[in-house]
């Protein structure tokens, strides 16, 4: 329902300086956004409960080969409206989402050049989005963008949880620092990743979480990134002003726009309660409704996989990995013997299928099933994988039949090696192969430098590719979980077969270098704002030497915290990532992973502080069962939980999987206790999480 409301325009409230011509506030009145044209430049500011969030900041775009859309603007018209509707996501943290905002639509003209540009603001109770709109017009039809200059002027030297600006990876640990310290810390923030394409000593990625000295939580991100380049933020650290910095293409062009068109939303979330940042649906709400009529084939997935054996165990994706110079085109695999340990073989995959069937998992991911791996490593040529030819020791026909006979599916794996034209050439055949054998989900990946060379993972061309892979998959009723793709911006609302993404530093890094113990207390504030993450939790053996004597890795988490991540890291796609042998050693704890839901009716954030702790409670879809998870940073955390979300008067059994008193992520991570308690909505639970620890609780009714 959309209706006009009276009449902010008449108030012309203006800012303290009296320069602002238009104002819109959030439905609850706490957030105010003002707009004006100041000396020809579009300018806005934003406040929350009277405190400045964004100081006056200018808007505009610099173009290539034609006059910029930066200045000489005049305001033509401002229209206000309000929108309030509730929608049901196909899967999600809640079964219903309210989309309630007030809108201010500003129409601008650039008279000397006969051009028009509009700016649309939507203001919610927990933040706002703005975007540029370019109507179809005579003197602005097709234009390359040199840079977008959207400013976000901060009101102080805030604390931020940031990762370095990079056009190709987000796989970094977060650094917590003042904005003024970013420049000095940049070197240590990037050193862990060789592929970094650094563009500025003060460049950071979104979603960027900040906290002000007077207790405001501010988050900057973007929503609905479609046919445009991903936005980074470059900080002027003298004045504490962020400015957008788009990802370039191989020619240095930042975006190509053809009118009528618009940019993605630039979003600023704000609250004085950290939990509101986690509970916010602003990014989803700024995306378009579901584009598919039939979504009955889209189903949340809990899976295991032939994966950690390679990532953590040092085994091989490639069947012929130690042959020095193999050419895919003329290698006869049927005459080649397997070199080294290749876990994607029929017998081993069968073992995983049995394990999945016994413990109620939906799918088994198998990586390294297809030819091409030996051709990729170290070569980066553009024709690598064909996505349809299995290695000779992987019996695709038999294994799919065997899996289906046990009520399990195999999950497809497409590592593109960044060779995107090659992937697009083979995509239809690859999806057809999946249809033929009954796969309905693919984990894809974009490791390495992009081919065509010079293109970046987060550029417009690649962003269009990731979405193309998703919409083509939908034609085959296939769900997509893309790793190393651009970080999500809420597109899963429109295309819910985008069931997950990695696009951040996942559990795989625990096997390589370790993640900071605080990592999972930051990700839900940042990376998860745009959509679910395939974080691949559930590692029970923290000493990686136990499965690979050559490994230097250590998983910086307690075992109890690994359970909690199924609740705190929201995703409709969850992997139990460890090898079956490690689960068999701790079957009592594994029970939580078996029980926990992957789709929810309701979610509540009970306690939260970025970098320190997150406690979430979620009610399973269609069931009166709750699951609670706590993840804690270096200092651990003590909780005092009220279970007042339970049905009044009903008795439940709570099974509490907690860190033992002497647990510690470094030297005693596997020390946990399991306690059973009868609880009601009146119960309070005092629980302690060890350093790098956590707890997980399942709560089921006793009176079924
Ligand atoms: C990186 C992905 O994140 C990981 O999960 C996958 O196993 C490798 N690429 C190989 O595709
Ligand atoms: Ca990755």
Can you read off the two tokens belonging to residue 147? 């840079």
For range 157-165, the mean pLDDT: 97
Q: Which pLDDT band, with edges at 50, 70 and 90, does 11 fall under?
A: very low
Can you read off the two tokens belonging to residue 470? 């998703």
Which residues contact residue 666 at a Cβ distance below 8 angstroms, ignoring those fewer than 6 apart?
554, 556, 691, 692
The answer for 234, left when phi > 0, alpha when psi is -120 to 50, beta otherwise, is beta
For the chain, the distance separating the N- and C-terminal CA atoms, rounded to the nearest angstrom, is: 41
Q: What is the per-residue pLDDT for 278?
A: 98
Q: What is the pLDDT of residues 249-282, one digit of tens each?
A: 999 999 999 999 999 999 999 999 999 999 999 9
Q: CB of 182 within 8 A of CB of 237?
A: yes
pLDDT of 432 above 60: yes
Q: Which of 240, 258, 259, 256 is nearest to 248 (CA)?
A: 256
Q: CB of 486 within 8 A of CB of 463?
A: yes
Helices (H), 211-345: 274-279, 282-285, 308-311
CA of 418 to the centre of ligand 1 (A): 12
Q: What is the per-residue pLDDT for 12?
A: 37
**Nearest atom of ligand 1 to the alpha carbon of 413:** 11
Q: What is the pLDDT of residues 524-534, one digit of tens each?
A: 999 999 999 99
Q: What is the per-residue pLDDT for 323?
A: 58
Q: Which pLDDT band, with edges at 50, 70 and 90, does 322 fall under?
A: low
* 3 state SS of 534: coil
Alpha carbons 101 and 125: distance in angstroms, whole number:
8
Nearest-Å Rg of the Cα atoms of the chain is 25
Q: What is the per-residue pLDDT for 191?
A: 61
| Substitution candidate for ligand 1 out of 311, 483, 485 with most atoms within 8 A of CB | 483
Can you read off the two tokens belonging to residue 415? 């590592």
DSSP state of 248: P
| Substitution candidate for ligand 1 out of 423, 447, 538 with most atoms within 8 A of CB | 447
DSSP state letters, 549-582: TT---B--S-HHHHHHHHHHS--SEEE--S-HHH
Q: Which pLDDT band, with edges at 50, 70 and 90, does 510 fall under?
A: very high
For range 192-205, the mean pLDDT: 72
CA of 392 to the centre of ligand 2 (A): 27
In 10 A of CB 697, how many CB atoms? 27
Q: E strands along 237-300, which residues? A: 241-246, 255-258, 261-262, 265-271
508 is catalytic: yes
Q: CB of 654 within 8 A of CB of 676?
A: yes
Considering only residues 334 and 414, tell me which one the structure prediction assigns the higher pLDDT. Answer: 414
Element (H, E) at 162: strand 159-162
Alpha carbons 5 and 18: distance in angstroms, whole number:
23
687 beta partners: 639
pLDDT of 102 above 60: yes
Element (H, E) at 689: strand 684-689
Alpha carbons 183 and 442: distance in angstroms, whole number:
39
Ligand showing the shortest atom-to-Cα distance for residue 443: 1
**Nearest atom of ligand 1 to the alpha carbon of 317:** 10
Q: Which of 398, 503, 604 is nearest to 166 (CA)?
A: 503
CA of 537 to the centre of ligand 2 (A): 14
pLDDT of 240 above 70: yes
Q: What is the pLDDT of residues 650-680, one digit of tens each?
A: 999 999 999 999 999 999 999 999 999 999 9
Q: CB of 341 within 8 A of CB of 397?
A: no
What value, to the nearest 5°, has the Cα angle with vertex 281 and ends 275 and 285? 165
Alpha carbons 47 and 34: distance in angstroms, whole number:
9
Nearest CA to ligand 1 atom 11: 415
**Nearest atom of ligand 1 to the alpha carbon of 484:** 3
Alpha carbons 241 and 55: distance in angstroms, whole number:
9
In angstroms, how far apart are the furthest CA atoms of the chain? 81
For range 117-144, the mean pLDDT: 98
Ligand showing the shortest atom-to-Cα distance for residue 311: 1
100 beta partners: 84
Alpha carbons 89 and 94: distance in angstroms, whole number:
8
Ligand 1 site residues (CB inside 6 A) read 307, 311, 367, 415, 445, 447, 483, 502, 508
Can you read off the two tokens belonging to residue 534? 């395939």
Alpha carbons 650 and 115: distance in angstroms, whole number:
64
Ligand showing the shortest atom-to-Cα distance for residue 415: 1
Q: Which of 679, 693, 285 is nearest to 489 (CA)?
A: 285
Alpha carbons 590 and 601: distance in angstroms, whole number:
24
pLDDT of 5 above 50: no
Q: CB of 225 within 8 A of CB of 486?
A: yes
CA of 502 to the centre of ligand 1 (A): 9
Share of the chain above pLDDT 70, in %: 93
For range 196-223, the mean pLDDT: 92
Q: CB of 372 within 8 A of CB of 401?
A: no
Q: From the candidates 374, 508, 510, 625, give the one annotated as an active-site residue.
A: 508
**Nearest atom of ligand 1 to the alpha carbon of 310:** 7
Alpha carbons 246 and 262: distance in angstroms, whole number:
15
Distances (CA, A) of 704 to 599, 623, 637, 677: 21, 11, 34, 17
Alpha carbons 119 and 105: distance in angstroms, whole number:
6
Q: CB of 490 within 8 A of CB of 97?
A: no
Q: CB of 509 within 8 A of CB of 468?
A: no
Q: What is the per-residue pLDDT for 26?
A: 98
pLDDT of 562 above 70: yes
134-148, 308-322, 606-620: the lowest-pLDDT one: 308-322
Q: Which pLDDT band, with edges at 50, 70 and 90, does 449 fall under?
A: confident
For range 244-250, the mean pLDDT: 97
Ligand showing the shortest atom-to-Cα distance for residue 536: 1
Q: What is the per-residue pLDDT for 15?
A: 39
CA of 169 to the centre of ligand 2 (A): 9
- What is the chain's length? 704
pLDDT of 196 above 60: no
Distances (CA, A) of 155 to 110, 212, 376: 30, 9, 48
Alpha carbons 35 and 23: distance in angstroms, whole number:
6
pLDDT of 1 above 90: no
DSSP state letters, 19-87: ---EEEE-TTS-EEEEEEEETTEEEEEEEETTEEEEEEEE--EEESSS--BSSS-EEEEEEEEEEEEEE
Alpha carbons 529 and 578: distance in angstroms, whole number:
26
CA of 430 to the centre of ligand 2 (A): 21
pLDDT of 19 above 60: no
Q: Which of 97, 74, 72, 99 is nearest to 2 (CA)?
A: 99
**Nearest atom of ligand 1 to the alpha carbon of 307:** 7
**Nearest atom of ligand 1 to the alpha carbon of 536:** 5
Whole-model pTM: value is 0.95
Alpha carbons 180 and 175: distance in angstroms, whole number:
13
Q: Which residues crowd ion ligand 2, with CB under 5 Å?
A: 483, 502
pLDDT of 7 above 80: no
Q: CB of 161 within 8 A of CB of 443?
A: no
Which residues contact residue 24 at a Cβ distance below 8 angstroms, ignoring those fewer than 6 apart?
8, 32, 33, 80, 102, 103, 104, 121, 123
Q: What is the per-residue pLDDT for 375?
A: 75
CA of 445 to the centre of ligand 1 (A): 6
What value, to the nearest 5°, has the Cα angle with vertex 301 and ends 300 and 306? 160
Nearest CA to ligand 1 atom 10: 415
C-alpha dihedral over 183, 457, 599, 607, to 10 degrees?
0
Nearest CA to ligand 1 atom 6: 445
| Substitution candidate for ligand 1 out of 193, 377, 445, 502 with most atoms within 8 A of CB | 445
ω before 260 within 30° of 0 (cis)?
yes
For range 22-41, the mean pLDDT: 97
Can you read off the two tokens belonging to residue 635? 């200092």
Ligand showing the shortest atom-to-Cα distance for residue 318: 1
Q: Which pLDDT band, with edges at 50, 70 and 90, does 552 fall under?
A: confident
Alpha carbons 13 and 21: distance in angstroms, whole number:
7
Pairing state between β 637-642 and 61-63: unpaired
* 3 state SS of 447: coil
CA of 182 to the centre of ligand 1 (A): 30
pLDDT of 611 above 80: yes
DSSP state of 230: P
DSSP state letters, 461-479: HHHHHHHHHHHHHHHTT-E
Which residues contact residue 494 at a Cβ distance below 8 angstroms, ignoring those fewer than 6 apart?
224, 287, 288, 289, 290, 291
Q: CB of 318 within 8 A of CB of 374?
A: yes
């Amino acid at each position: 329902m959309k209706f006009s409301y009276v009449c902010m325009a008449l108030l012309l409230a203006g800012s303290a300086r009296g320069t602002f011509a238009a104002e819109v506030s959030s439905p609850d009145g706490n957030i105010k956004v003002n707009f004006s044209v100041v000396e020809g430049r579009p300018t806005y500011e934003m406040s929350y409960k009277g405190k400045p969030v964004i100081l006056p900041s200018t808007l505009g775009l610099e173009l290539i080969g034609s006059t910029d859309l930066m200045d000489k603007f005049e305001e033509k018209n401002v229209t206000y409206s309000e929108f309030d509707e509730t929608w049901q996501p196909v899967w999600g943290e809640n079964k219903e989402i309210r989309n309630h905002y007030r809108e201010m639509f500003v129409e601008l003209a650039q008279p000397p050049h006969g051009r028009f540009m509009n700016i649309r603001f939507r203001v919610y109770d927990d933040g706002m989005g703005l975007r540029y709109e370019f109507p179809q017009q005579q003197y602005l039809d097709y234009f390359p963008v040199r840079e977008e200059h959207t400013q976000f002027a901060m009101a102080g030297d805030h604390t931020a949880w940031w990762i370095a600006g990079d056009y190709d990876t987000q796989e970094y640990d977060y650094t917590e620092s003042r904005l003024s310290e970013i420049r000095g810390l940049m070197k240590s923030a990037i050193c862990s990743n060789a592929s970094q394409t650094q563009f500025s000593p003060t460049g950071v990625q979104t979603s960027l979480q900040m906290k002000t000295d007077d207790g405001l939580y501010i988050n900057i991100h973007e929503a609905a990134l479609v046919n445009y380049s991903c936005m980074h933020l470059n900080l002027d650290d003298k004045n504490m002003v962020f400015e957008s910095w788009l990802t370039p293409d191989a020619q240095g062009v930042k975006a190509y726009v053809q009118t009528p068109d618009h940019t993605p939303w630039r979003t600023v979330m704000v609250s004085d309660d950290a939990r509101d940042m986690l509970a916010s649906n602003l990014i989803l709400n700024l995306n378009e409704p579901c584009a598919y009529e039939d979504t009955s084939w889209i189903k949340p997935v809990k899976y295991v996989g032939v994966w950690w054996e390679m990532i953590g165990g040092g085994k091989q994706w490639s069947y012929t990995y130690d042959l020095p110079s193999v050419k895919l085109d003329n290698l006869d695999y049927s005459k080649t013997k397997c070199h080294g340990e290749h876990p994607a073989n029929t017998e081993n995959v069968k073992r995983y299928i049995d394990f999945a069937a016994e413990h109620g998992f939906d799918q088994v991911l198998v990586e390294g099933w297809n030819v091409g791996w030996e051709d990729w490593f170290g070569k980066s040529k553009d024709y690598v994988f064909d996505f349809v030819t299995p290695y000779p020791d992987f019996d695709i026909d038999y294994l799919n039949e065997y899996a289906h006979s046990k009520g399990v599916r195999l999950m497809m794996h497409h590592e593109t090696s960044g060779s995107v034209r090659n992937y697009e050439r083979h995509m239809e055949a690859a999806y057809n192969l999946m249809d033929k054998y009954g796969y309905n989900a693919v984990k894809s990946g974009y490791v390495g430098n992009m081919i065509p060379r010079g293109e970046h993972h987060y550029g417009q061309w690649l962003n269009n590719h990731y979405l193309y892979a998703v919409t083509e998959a939908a034609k085959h009723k296939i769900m997509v979980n893309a790793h190393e793709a651009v970080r999500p911006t809420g597109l899963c609302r429109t295309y819910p077969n985008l069931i997950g993404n990695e696009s951040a530093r996942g559990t795989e890094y625990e096997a390589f270098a370790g993640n900071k113990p605080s990592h999972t207390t930051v990700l839900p504030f940042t990376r998860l704002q745009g959509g679910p993450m395939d974080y691949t939790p559930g590692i029970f053996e923290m000493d990686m030497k136990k499965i690979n004597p050559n490994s230097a890795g250590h998983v910086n988490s307690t075992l109890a915290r690994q359970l909690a991540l199924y609740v705190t890291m929201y995703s409709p796609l969850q992997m139990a990532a460890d090898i079956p042998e490690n689960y068999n050693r701790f079957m009592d704890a594994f029970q939580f992973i078996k029980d926990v839901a992957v789709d929810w009716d309701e979610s509540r954030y009970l306690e939260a502080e970025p970098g320190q702790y997150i406690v979430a409670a979620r009610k399973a879809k269609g069931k009166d069962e709750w699951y609670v998870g706590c993840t804690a940073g270096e200092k651990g955390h003590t909780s005092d939980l009220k279970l007042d979300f339970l049905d009044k008067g009903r008795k439940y059994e709570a099974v509490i999987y907690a860190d033992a008193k002497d647990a510690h992520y470094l030297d005693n991570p596997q020390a946990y206790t399991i306690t059973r308690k009868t609880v009601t909505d009146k119960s309070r639970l005092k629980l302690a999480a060890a350093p790098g620890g956590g707890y997980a609780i399942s709560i089921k009714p006793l009176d079924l």
